[in-house]
Amino acid sequence: MFTGIITDIGEVVETQQRGDLRARIKTSYDTGGIDIGASIACDGVCLTVIELGDDYFDVEISAETVGLTNIGSTNWPAGRRLNLERALKVGDELGGHIVSGHVDGVAEIIAMKNEGDSTRVTLRAPDALARYIAPKGSVALNGTSLTVNEVDGTDFGINFIPHTKTATTWGDAKVGDAINLEIDTLARYVARLQEWG
């Protein structure tokens, strides 16, 4: 379980296809405090640590995860920066919203516009997920907890303040980018209950 509050920006060192995809991610986390088997959200994808070094951790990524996330379209090349968040501990501040790290699909950035020091970003969600996105609701985009400004069909808008652009990888964003999208858990269950209505 995560909160969508990014605590480190990692970097892909290398990836190798070994049955599953294996990735080495450089981090500024104290890896001495990370256990093998720990969960770390990498651009919003909950991944299990399988190996540790002084300044890196390794993860394995299943074919299903590759297919459902932006890993499938980008292959996480060496040098790619990733939003990182360690799993929530009991007693931690819940500053964002409840995020599972189970990406639902991939959205695309279709427009960006500066508004003062902030940046307004419009994304297009997959048809099957658009109904779960509501104005003033929460979404996780590349692991970042964000508030939706407006919704127009499958398109929705997010506003990035300067802090978010520097504390995460959102300062690197550009039109056409594929973005990991996790819808709000509450929205998912409300919709499911309505189906049974």
Residues 6+ apart with CB under 8 A from 125: 105, 107, 133, 154, 155, 156, 181
- Block means of pLDDT (10 residues each) for the chain, 197 residues, are 94 93 97 97 98 97 94 88 90 75 96 96 96 93 96 97 96 96 80 68
* pLDDT, position 90: 66
Give the start-to-end residue ranges of the domains of the chain: 8-86, 105-196
CATH code at 105-196: 2.40.30.20
* pLDDT, position 111: 98
* pLDDT, position 73: 79
What is the residue type of 80?
A: R
Do the domains at 8-86 and 105-196 have one common CATH topology?
Answer: yes
For 51-82, write each residue's pLDDT tens digit.
999 999 999 999 999 999 999 877 789 999 99
Please give the model's pTM, rounded to 2 decimal places: 0.93
Written out in words, the top-level CATH class of the domain with range 8-86 is: mainly beta
Q: Mean of the per-residue pLDDT values for the chain?
A: 92
Residues above pLDDT 70, as percent of the chain: 93
For 120-142, write each residue's pLDDT tens digit.
999 999 999 999 999 999 999 99
